[in-house]
């Protein structure tokens, strides 16, 4: 009988990590969940057969992964430094590099030394850039990271190449666009709240195209990468396969909420001007700019199709949203 691999998940208490470990357990896969603090592993009902919690502390260039890697065959590396509070450090790039770049390199080296066969790294489409113009990003697009987070992720990808080139460790890199689903926060949740409250939004004239990926689709893609032979030492872009203008996304959110969308037109240049004056230029760019991902190579080479359509993903997200304590 073929051995079922034990999988180590970093960032196991996060938005993607919680769902991944749940799905893997449901499949009968043994999981080690790496967490920063002991309390993360003491949630009621989470001490189930096949699930182990391992405290690793902060992730960086000197993290000791020895215990977490015992008996592990595959690592899914989700943990990342997503942001730095304004004014918290004089050198934010150093913070991102310590966690995302050096932390990933350290994990990869120790995984290789421990006999791990494959490391799956959740990167970001931001490695490719912030916006697309004439064509979607693909695996052949020239990387163009624009902020500290994206630069550190791109450097981490290069570190994985270096480790794999000198060891038997295989890597798989996934670069998703915005991930939405139950538990989503930040800008997507804020937009959902605006639509739910019936706030009029000046986005009716926006003609952009945005790629997204539903959490359930990303989890399925990650699981596919665990043992698919074609994925070895590859970098892939993944998405729902539906690129939608922001006004359409809002209308589909409204449908899932059972509400009427409230949109009115405003010229892009005026929206950008307001964004610049209010310090919200990047948020406006995400609403009116295009960012498209061509995920066809992943679908073709790994014989994969997103199991959930966008409307189903939005419906599941809204179901979760309605249960949030108000």
Q: Which residues are catalytic?
A: 149
- Give the residue from 160, 129, 288 showing the smallest Cα distance to 234: 160
Pull the structure tokens for residue 297. Answer: 């190579």
The CA distance from 238 to 293, in Å, is 7
* Contact of 277 with 161, CB cutoff 8 Å: no
Distance CA(179)–CA(286), nearest Å, equals 14
Separation between Cα atoms, residue 174 and residue 64, nearest integer Å: 25
Residue 89 CB neighbours (<10 A): 11
Number of Cβ within a 10 Å radius of residue 106 = 19
- Three-state secondary-structure class, residue 68: coil
Answer yes or no: are the C-beta atoms of 33 and 51 closer than 8 Å: yes
Give Cβ neighbours of residue 239 (< 8 Å, ≥ 6 apart).
Answer: 176, 177, 211, 212, 213, 293, 295, 306
Sequence-separated (6 or more) residues with CB below 8 Å from residue 277: none
CB neighbours (10 Å) of residue 309? 14
**Distance separating alpha carbons of residues 134 and 251, to the nearest angstrom:** 25
């Amino acid at each position: 009988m073929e051995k079922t691999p034990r999988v180590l998940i970093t960032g196991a208490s996060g938005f993607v990590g919680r769902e991944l470990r749940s799905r893997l357990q449901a499949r009968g896969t043994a999981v080690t969940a790496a967490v920063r603090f002991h309390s993360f592993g003491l949630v009621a009902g989470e001490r189930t057969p096949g699930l182990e919690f391992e405290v690793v502390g902060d992730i960086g260039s000197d993290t000791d992964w020895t215990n977490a890697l015992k008996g592990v065959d595959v690592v899914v590396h989700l943990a990342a430094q997503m942001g730095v509070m304004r004014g918290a450090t004089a050198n934010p790039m150093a913070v991102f590099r310590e966690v995302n770049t050096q932390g990933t390199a350290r994990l990869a080296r120790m995984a290789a030394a421990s006999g791990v066969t494959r490391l799956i790294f959740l990167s970001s489409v931001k490695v490719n850039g912030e916006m697309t113009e004439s064509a979607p990003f693909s695996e052949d697009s020239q990387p163009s990271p624009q902020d500290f987070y994206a630069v550190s992720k791109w450097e981490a990808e290069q570190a994985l190449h270096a480790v794999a080139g000198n060891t038997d460790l295989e890597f798989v890199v996934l670069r998703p666009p915005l991930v939405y689903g139950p538990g989503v926060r930040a800008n997507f949740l804020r937009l959902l709240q605006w639509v739910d409250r019936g706030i009029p939004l000046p986005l009716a004239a926006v003609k952009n195209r945005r790629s997204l990926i539903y959490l359930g689709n990303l989890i399925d893609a990650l699981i596919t990468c665990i043992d698919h032979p074609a994925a070895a030492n590859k970098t892939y872009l993944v998405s729902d396969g539906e690129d939608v203008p922001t006004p359409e996304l809002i209308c589909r959110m409204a449908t899932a909420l059972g509400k009427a969308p409230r949109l009115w037109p405003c010229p892009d240049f005026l929206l950008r001007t307001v964004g610049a004056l209010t310090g919200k230029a990047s948020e406006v760019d995400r609403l009116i700019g295009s960012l498209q991902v061509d995920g066809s190579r992943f679908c073709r080479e790994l014989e994969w199709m997103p199991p959930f359509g966008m409307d189903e993903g939005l419906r599941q997200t809204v179901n979760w949203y309605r249960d949030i304590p108000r």
